[in-house]
Chains A and B, each alone.
Chain A
C-alpha cells in the first residue's frame, strides 16, 4: 500500500541546519521527491532522488535515503527565513501515474 508520513512541524533558528524526515511504505517506489509549498502558492519541486541512490546533494539541500528503513530526509544547511514553508515528500512508482504525498512538514525559521 501507499502511505507517506512526516512530522507536522519543525522550528529552527536562522543559520542552523534543518532536517525534515519522511517515512514511506511502498518498497517499489521509483523516485522520491521533496516539494516546497509557500503560503498562497502551489507546490514546487525542490529535489528528487532515484531509489537506487543513497544520497544527493544540491547546493544547500542534502537528501538521504535509507531504503532498508524506508526513510527519507531533507537537510537544509544554513536555513534562512525564506525557507519557511511547508515541505512535502512524495513517492512515485513505475509509470509515474501519480505522486503520493506525505502530510507535509511546516518549517518555521526564526531570526
Chain B
C-alpha cells in the first residue's frame, strides 16, 4: 500500500460527459502528480501541484483541469469526453522536492468512455 488513495477505481461514461477523479496523497506529501496511461501513448505526465499551486504542466488537454485543495487532496476534471480519453489515470505524490524524487503511485482510476 503506497498510501495514495484514488477514487473511483473504475468509471464508465459516455462521450461528451464530464467526470472528476479524486486523489488523496500520502500523509505529509505536498506534491501531487497526475499521469495518464494508455495503450498507445504509454505513461504521460499531465500536471503537478505543490501545496495548492500548479507547479508543472505536461501534455494536458484544455478539456482537462485539475486543482489541489487546502487539505492537499487533488481532483482531475475531464470534460467533453472522447473515446480516446479512455485510459488509466494515476495520481502520485511526493515530499516537497525530496533528495531522490521518488513518487508514490495510487492504484489508478480506470476510465472507459463509450
Contacts and interface: CB of A to CB of B under 8 A. Distances in A.
Interface of B: 2, 4, 33, 35, 42-43, 45, 48, 55-56, 58, 90, 92, 94, 97-98, 100-108
Contacts of B102: 33, 45, 48
A104 B107 CA distance: 17
Nearest to A43: B105
Contacts of B33: 98-99
Contact of B107 (A42, A95, A101, A103): A42
B75 to A, nearest CB: 18
A99 B4 contact: no
A96 B43 contact: no
A48 B55 CA distance: 23
A31 B90 contact: no
14 contacts: A33-B102, A42-B90, A42-B92, A42-B105, A42-B107, A43-B43, A43-B92, A45-B102, A48-B101, A99-B101, A99-B103, A101-B45, A104-B42, A104-B43
